[in-house]
Amino acid sequence: MTDNRTNFLAKSEVKAQDLEHKRKVAFNIDKYNAAVINGKKQFADLELARKKAKNAKWKAIENLDQYLEQFEQNFTARGGKLIWAENANDALDAILAICKEKNTHQVVKSKSMVTEEIHLNKFLEKNGIESVETDLGEYIQQLDGEPPYHIVTPAMHKSKEDVAKLFHEKLGTDPNLAPTELTLIAREKLRQKYLTAEVGITGGNFLLADIGGVCVTENEGNGRLSTSFPKTHIAIVGIEKILPSVNDLPLFWPLLATYGTGQQLTAYNTIFTGPRQPGETDGPDEMYVILLDNGRTNMLQHPEMREGMYCIRCGSCLNACPVYKNIGGHAYGTTYSGPIGSVITPHLQGIDEYKHLSYASTLCGNCTEVCPVKINIHGMLLENRHTATKEGMNGFSENIGWKLWRKGMMSRTMMNAAGPGFKNMMLNKVFGETWLNRRSGTHFAEKSFNKLWKERK
């Protein structure tokens, strides 16, 4: 059993029994579900929109090399600088080189899961550079020393009372402040950071090949502030975020907003196509885009797994998943949690170490049902299980156990030969650690239904 699996099981055990944690998560997800119902009303034909979006992502991923090169050509033509990063270390080294060149002591960051993926904040801190999260949810998590809990809602597991207590402990504020007052305090603390930071760092929701654009979608305006005041803007974006054209945005922006937060459109949607141009009044002097692979091309090698690269990071599958709603985001121990995280993490970080995540699913299919781009998420979870089995990653005892189980379950003769005593022993002794953990002991009837049927006939 790997450390990752052991940690996952241990954290899941704790969170599944934490009723207060589950209450907070259920409260926030219920609010999300109510908003999504209203957001979907903007579509005259939602299923058609989802199919068109999936087709657009299929086109982009099947021709990924061409669209990435087209993006590079158009972005650099306007003075942007592009860096290809094969892994996290390449990306971190490039960012550090830029920061050293600019004599950087402080950076401001808008919300970005890809920077969490490469652990950018810790890296910059080790190198003497302060990295400030400017998204309110991310700022709360940074104050608390925790990673994001959710792809879209970083502090979903915290109540307003939790945040008030955290601000009291970390910032010395009154412990009973209302959410509006807490927001004003965060704004006051963060506004000065925009003015003093030498570098602003963002992710990117979409890359537009035909205009060389990076799209950043947000609701607080912190993304625009992070890219307007600092003289250097660095956007770190996974290569799978590519879209063929700017004309795809009227489809993808509303889908992302509706499935991400229940809005018709997020408050701020910005397209960056390079540094400030002659005659423009604002924007950075320099703009860099770091295109990150970090295991993404591993999914390209498996045609049945490529759909995982269609994900637009809306978080809807997390909110729909019965497992996620019971154990929460931190139990997974990965940047990307929930169903889509369980699909892609084994390919990004190694299936041998993270295959257990694909078993943390009921395969109910609700994740697939709610995906705005119709990714076959539960089918790919099953495919990951098949891969682990085919490559012999499940261990000798587990493989032998399942072979014996299969042989017995497929033979009526063997099932009849195994009397109630043997069956009781198998469930209550051999599988006792897992079976009895949540259940009372099992006691099979002296005569099975099959035997009773034979006697009556």
What pLDDT is recorded for position 317?
A: 97
* Distance (Å, whole) CA 62 – CA 60: 6
Give the ranges where 172-207 is alpha helix by DSSP (H).
179-196
3 state SS of 383: helix
Contact 82, 291 (CB under 8 A): yes
pLDDT digits (tens, 9 = 90+) for 319-351: 999 999 999 999 999 999 999 999 999 999 999
Tokens representing 2? Answer: 């790997």
pLDDT category at 391 given cuts 50, 70, 90 is: confident
What pLDDT is recorded for position 202?
A: 98
- In order of their start, the domains of the chain are 1-36+312-394 (no CATH), 43-294 (3.40.50.10420), 412-456 (no CATH)
| pLDDT greater than 80 at residue 233 | yes
| pLDDT greater than 90 at residue 393 | no
* Distance (Å, whole) CA 251 – CA 255: 6
Contact 227, 233 (CB under 8 A): yes
More confident residue, 437 or 22: 22
Tokens representing 410? Answer: 């497929």
Most confident of 324-338, 408-422, 431-445: 324-338
Average pLDDT, the chain: 94
Short-list 236, 284, 243, 224, CA closest to 79: 284
Tokens representing 119? Answer: 């652990």
pTM confidence score = 0.91
* Distance (Å, whole) CA 82 – CA 99: 15
Within its chain, how far is the Cα of 414 from the centroid?
A: 45
Contacts of 267 (CB under 8 A, 6+ apart): 218, 219, 220, 221
